[in-house]
């Protein structure tokens, strides 16, 4: 087999030629040898965050934030799921209509939990910059608001899908990207 065979084969495949018409032109002794070379190349490449998400993720970190202009007022949520190494796996940001800041924070957590579950996360750390939400979800504060109680139950139901799910309060600057996404969603025009 020539040293440039794999490169030639990949160029032919990228140009749209089928494998059965390309392996011999690329200098491989058989179709099986061409497939083995492609598989060896694939195994040698580092795993991308998307590939990790596709096979399921042992541990991840979720940053969630809600934005509300007025209390209540127009609101949006954002959630970003990261690998422990800091690589972003997936995110969501969207408007949720009129809500209070606390409702927006809870809804951001719910969106993030659903997103993490969809990609197969098994253990999740949820980070929010709302001390109230973090302490309520950890049981340190009672939930007095009739608007927040059903949202807390929904969070608890979603959290049960994970082998482990912990909630942490972080400073606003540690949640900057989720805050930026929530505000960008809030600022986005309806037709964009």
Q: 74 in helix, strand or coil?
A: strand
**Residue count (the chain):** 192
* Same domain for 141 and 122: yes
* Same domain for 79 and 22: no
* Same domain for 85 and 17: no
Query: At residue 73, does pLDDT exceed 70?
Result: yes
Q: Output the pLDDT for position 1.
A: 40
Q: What's the CATH number where 154 sits?
A: 3.30.420.10
* Same domain for 96 and 69: yes
Q: Output the pLDDT for position 39.
A: 87
* Same domain for 106 and 35: no
* Domain residue limits at 80: 51-187
Q: How far is CA 128 from CA 9, 47, 104, in A?
A: 48, 28, 12
Q: Output the pLDDT for position 21.
A: 85
pTM exceeding 0.75: no
Mean pLDDT value of segment 172-192:
89
Q: What is the DSSP letter of 50?
A: H
Q: Output the pLDDT for position 2.
A: 46
Q: What is the DSSP letter of 17?
A: -
Sheet containing strand 121-128, edge to edge, reads 88-99, 73-82, 57-68, 121-128, 164-169
In a domain, 141, yes or no: yes
* Same domain for 90 and 148: yes
* Same domain for 91 and 30: no
* Same domain for 73 and 142: yes
pLDDT tens digit sequence for 20-60: 888 888 888 888 888 998 888 888 876 665 565 556 789 99
Mean pLDDT value of segment 66-77:
95
* Same domain for 115 and 82: yes
pLDDT band at residue 166 using 50, 70 and 90 as cut-offs: very high
CB 13 within 8 A of CB 5: no
Q: Output the pLDDT for position 57.
A: 86
* Same domain for 89 and 35: no
Query: At residue 151, does pLDDT exceed 50?
Result: yes
pLDDT tens digit sequence for 99-128: 999 999 999 999 999 999 999 999 999 999
In a domain, 192, yes or no: no
User: Number of folded domains in the chain?
Assistant: 2
* Same domain for 62 and 38: no
């Amino acid at each position: 087999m020539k040293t440039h065979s794999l490169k030639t084969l990949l160029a032919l495949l990228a140009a749209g030629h089928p494998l059965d018409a390309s392996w011999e032109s690329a200098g491989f002794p058989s179709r099986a040898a061409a497939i083995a070379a492609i598989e060896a190349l694939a195994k040698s490449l580092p795993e991308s965050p998307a590939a990790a998400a596709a096979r399921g993720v042992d541990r991840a970190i979720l940053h969630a934030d809600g934005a509300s202009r007025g209390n209540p007022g127009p609101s949006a949520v954002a959630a970003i799921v990261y690998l422990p190494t800091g690589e972003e796996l997936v995110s969501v940001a969207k408007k949720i209509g009129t809500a209070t800041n606390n409702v927006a924070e809870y809804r951001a957590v719910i969106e993030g939990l659903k997103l993490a579950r969809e990609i197969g996360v098994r253990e999740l750390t949820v980070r929010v910059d709302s001390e109230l939400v973090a302490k309520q979800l950890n049981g340190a504060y009672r939930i007095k608001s009739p608007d927040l109680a059903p949202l807390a139950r929904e969070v608890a139901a979603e959290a049960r899908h994970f082998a482990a799910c912990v909630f942490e309060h972080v400073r606003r600057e540690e949640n900057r990207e989720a805050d930026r996404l929530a505000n960008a969603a809030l600022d986005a025009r309806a037709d964009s």
